[in-house]
Amino acid sequence: MTTADFTPAERDAFYRLIAARRDMRHFRGGKIPAAVLARLLHAAHQAPSVGLMQPWRFIRICDPKLREAIAGLVDAERQATAAALGERRDEFLRLKVEGVRDCAELLVAALAPDDGTRFGRRMMAAEMALCSAACAIQNLWLAARAENLGLGWVSLFDPDALAERLALPAGTKPIAILCLGPVTDLYPEPMLAREGWRQPRPLATVVFRDRWGQAEEAL
Amino acid sequence: MTTADFTPAERDAFYRLIAARRDMRHFRGGKIPAAVLARLLHAAHQAPSVGLMQPWRFIRICDPKLREAIAGLVDAERQATAAALGERRDEFLRLKVEGVRDCAELLVAALAPDDGTRFGRRMMAAEMALCSAACAIQNLWLAARAENLGLGWVSLFDPDALAERLALPAGTKPIAILCLGPVTDLYPEPMLAREGWRQPRPLATVVFRDRWGQAEEAL
């Protein structure tokens, strides 16, 4: 089946999925059936990776004490970020920036220790491993939406502190705390746009022709 | 429509898409209608990004001389990689590792100069921008598959040389040469697995519970 064509209806459903995926911070607890969680992780694991190195690792957080410790790390980083934001401090603190305590499932995504893969990595070795792991997370994110679940990528944490808490071996880098689960409503647009934090750019400002800054007329 | 649920059939079509996406190196030329290219770039631009910074930029390569220059950069890096691979040199050189000259459309994806976004980036600033750009590329990749087109992410190039060729401003980093277009057949499994270069890992080796190395029984 893998080489079969997709129909226009399937394609359009996929574009609707792309448009409907959101970075969620509001969850309504609940549980995720093991079969659904397995489908999501399997989708992540089918991501592309440079030299087929598959550098992503996922740690499912089941221990409530561990979840609370992770929530504490996020709280600390949220306060540190607020302090670093200067005049937007109070505005930032009014935003809900994570759902660590509220989500049905908590996962940590980490980059595995470098396995020395050279294929496609003679240049930009660290970057390409990281990009591969990000692709896996994006697969998981879209799959969650297809399952009518929300997912939020929280990057408000000290990676060294989180690595220590999870007994990650040297060279392993946590890159995401993933809050996953049922939500009441998905945001109709990115939460940061909706809350007036920042507005997205028009597509035409990110696509050029042949050289930086030259407009692409096909858009 | 963005908050509407997806049906089981739509979900299953999405999982089929995830499974059918391949990192393609074999293309059969042709053209991509402007409307299709616009849909693909629009899908990329709907990716998540840390602090809504949207750091991805795409440069569509239309000038045939520029495409040939890029092919030359890839050829040079391919030879340098072969030399670095030691005993697997000849095996590597037998693989087709890029489709720069054969694909219908050639795009370069680059990370924009850092705009100073602090939201979610007090720690891991460079990493989070890069992950956002990778998510955009993964959106584009899946969208291409949904359009029954192939895409290959080529990372065999010297980023500084490519940046100079495209007149990228200081601080901009090219991260992917994207070969896009019609293909005769998509590989039924990852090309590197099919060619015997490397076998993928089982899912159970990348998912843990609560701490590194502890098996997740739900899988």
State the DSSP code for B6: P
Q: Are B182 and B24 in contact (CB under 8 A)?
A: no
Closest residue, chain A, to B186 (C-alpha)? A3
Q: Which residue has the higher pLDDT, A1 or B51?
A: B51
Summarised one tens digit per residue, pLDDT across range B28-43 is 999 999 999 999 999 9
pLDDT < 70: residue spans in chain A: 1-3
Helix (H) or strand (E) holding B106: strand B105-111
Closest C-alpha to A191, from A75, A99, A62? A99
* Contacts with A119 from chain B: Cβ below 8 Å: 81, 85, 92, 192, 197
Mean pLDDT of chain B: 96
Cβ A142–B146 below 8 Å, yes or no?
no
Summarised one tens digit per residue, pLDDT across range B153-196 is 999 999 999 999 999 999 999 999 999 999 999 999 999 999 99
State the DSSP code for A59: E
Cβ B208–A59 below 8 Å, yes or no?
yes
Closest residue, chain B, to A6 (C-alpha)? B146
Whether the full predicted model's pTM is greater than 0.90, yes or no, is yes
Cβ A201–B61 below 8 Å, yes or no?
no
Domains in chain B (CATH in brackets) are 22-187 (3.40.109.10)
Helix (H) or strand (E) holding A142: helix A125-146
Summarised one tens digit per residue, pLDDT across range B56-114 is 999 999 999 999 999 999 999 999 999 999 999 999 999 999 999 999 999 999 999 99
Q: What is the CA radius of gyration of chain B?
A: 19
pLDDT at position A161 is 98
The residues, any chain, with a CB within 8 Å of residue A160's CB and separated by 6 or more, are none
What's the longest Cα–Cα distance across chain A? 55
- Compute CA distances A187 → A20, A21, A94, B3, B194, whole Å: 9, 9, 17, 8, 42
pLDDT of B2 over the 60 cut: no
Summarised one tens digit per residue, pLDDT across range A45-104 is 999 999 999 999 999 999 999 999 999 999 999 999 999 999 999 999 999 999 999 999
pLDDT at position B207 is 98
B60, B61, B89: best mutation site toward chain A, by most A Cβ within 10 Å?
B60
Classify burial at A1, counting beta carbons within 10 Å of its beta carbon; exposed 0-12, middle 13-18, buried 19 or more: exposed
Closest residue, chain B, to A166 (C-alpha)? B211
pLDDT at position B122 is 95
A12, A24, A46: best mutation site toward chain B, by most B Cβ within 10 Å?
A46
What CA–CA distance (Å, rounded) separates A180 from A111? 19
Cβ A131–B131 below 8 Å, yes or no?
yes
pLDDT at position A3 is 53
